[in-house]
Every structure is written in structure tokens, then in C-alpha cells.
Amino acid sequence: MKGPYPEIQGGGSLILAWQVRNKRVLVVGGGEVAAGRIVNVLNADAKVLVVSPRERLNEEVAYRIEQKQVDYIDRKFEPSDLDGVDMVLTAVDDPEASTQIYKLCHEKKIPANIADVPPECDFYFGSVHRDGPLQIMVSTNGNGPKMANIVRRQIAASLPNNIGAAIQKIGVLRRKLRKVAPLQEEGPKRMQWMSKVCESWPLDDICDMTEEDMEVLLGYYRPNCIPSLEEVRLSEPSGAYNGPFLI
């Protein structure tokens, strides 16, 4: 019999949004796989150090170095490269060297990803769809990266074209709401009210919402009402809200 709670399905990964802003990430290697890893961590605002002999750099990695988007050391990996590093990504065609790097990272408790060697990975890279603040990752837990890419494309094709822009606007509204209702005990009400906005407003209306519309909409937070965008704009004929719910 099934229990009242979700059944445990072992063998998965804990999928997280890892915040690496301003963290030091070491990338060992300069080929195509390294290029993809570099883009991933630069998009997350990490500080990247690439270690690889110059003759092994592909055009994209060489471009990142030339544009000073990453720091660079022109040689093979040395153990001292791990000093002060928060994360290590290796992408070299040398299994023995990769294993040695992983062992050193393990000793120093530095999380590492060894490309194409799942048993020597503390975390995996999935196939990611990006649209502004929206990120969707599909992981096969190292079983089939190509299949992850196929699934990711299918998911992306089913999303509305304006979903990223709508999320951006909701983020702005949410930050404004925290200024209106900053107290910790208001957290549940804030979340409930924001949920109602997301559920009741069409994506097009969310995208069309201006800063002025947001200020008026926030006037409905205290009475816990969710007007439509049309109602919001009828409340601001002169660009300022004069209705009964002004905070």
C-alpha cells in the first residue's frame, strides 16, 4: 500500500541553484567542454581562473581570455592552483590527471566536477534553458546528457515567449512589496498575495505592468485585493493613485 506521503526514490541528485557570485572557480582545460563550463559559471557571476597550455585552447576559450573575462595561466595544472579556490571544473583528455585533481580536491574539501567521469563528480551539469531570470535545468544524473538536451528543448518549446519578461516584472513587484511590508511576520501574507497576482494576471498584463502600475497595485496589498490591470489603470487617471487603499 502507498503511504500518505511521497515515496522515496533513491538514486537522484539534490538539484540546487548554486550561488557562486564572486566565488573563485578553477577551470582546468581549454577545449570545447571547458568553453561550455566557463560560460555556465560566468553567467553565475563567478570569478574564473583557466589553467591550460595555450596550444590546447579552442577559439572560444582564447576569446574569453583575450577579452579578460577570465584569469589565465598558460601551463598544465599544478596542485598550488587549488589555493583559495571554491570550485573546480576539469575538462582534459587525461583520465589519470583528472583523477589526481579530484583526489586533491577531495582532500581539500573543494567541490569538483570531472567531465565525463560521473563517479568523480560532486555535482553534475544539466541541460539548461535560460530566459532572463528564468533557468530550467534537466539532469539525467550522468546517464544521458544528450537525452537531457532533447527534454530541455521540448520543455523550452512549450513555454510562452514572454515568460522571462513576466518573471522579471514579478521580481520588481516583489522587491517593492518587501519595502511596503518589511516585517518578518508578514511573510505568509506577502507570499499569498504575490501568488494571487501571478495566478490571476495574464502574462501579457504582467509584462505590460509599469512602475506606476506597481505602485498602485501595492495599494491593494493591505486589504488583500487583486485588481486587474485595467482596474489598476482606472485608479490612476492622472498617474497617481487616489483610491481608498493607498498605503
Q: What single DSSP character describes residue 129?
A: E
User: 66: which 3 cell numbers?
Assistant: 583575450
Q: Do 219 and 247 form a contact (C-beta atoms < 8 A)?
A: yes
Phi-psi group of 9: left, alpha or beta (phi > 0 → left; psi -120 to 50 → alpha; rest → beta):
beta
Contacts of 131 (CB under 8 A, 6+ apart): 159, 163, 164
* Predicted TM-score (pTM) of this structure: 0.79
Residue 17 is placed in which grid cell? Answer: 541553484
Q: What is the length of the chain? A: 247
Residues with a known catalytic role:
116
Local confidence pLDDT in tens for the 247 residues of the chain: 578 998 898 988 888 889 999 999 999 999 999 999 999 999 999 999 999 999 999 999 999 999 999 999 999 999 999 999 999 999 999 999 999 999 999 999 999 999 988 889 999 888 899 999 999 999 888 788 889 999 999 999 999 999 999 999 999 999 999 999 999 999 999 999 999 999 999 999 999 999 999 999 999 999 999 999 999 999 865 444 444 443 3
Burial of 42 from C-beta contacts in 10 A (0-12 / 13-18 / 19+): middle
Are 245 and 220 spatial neighbours (Cβ–Cβ below 8 Å)? yes
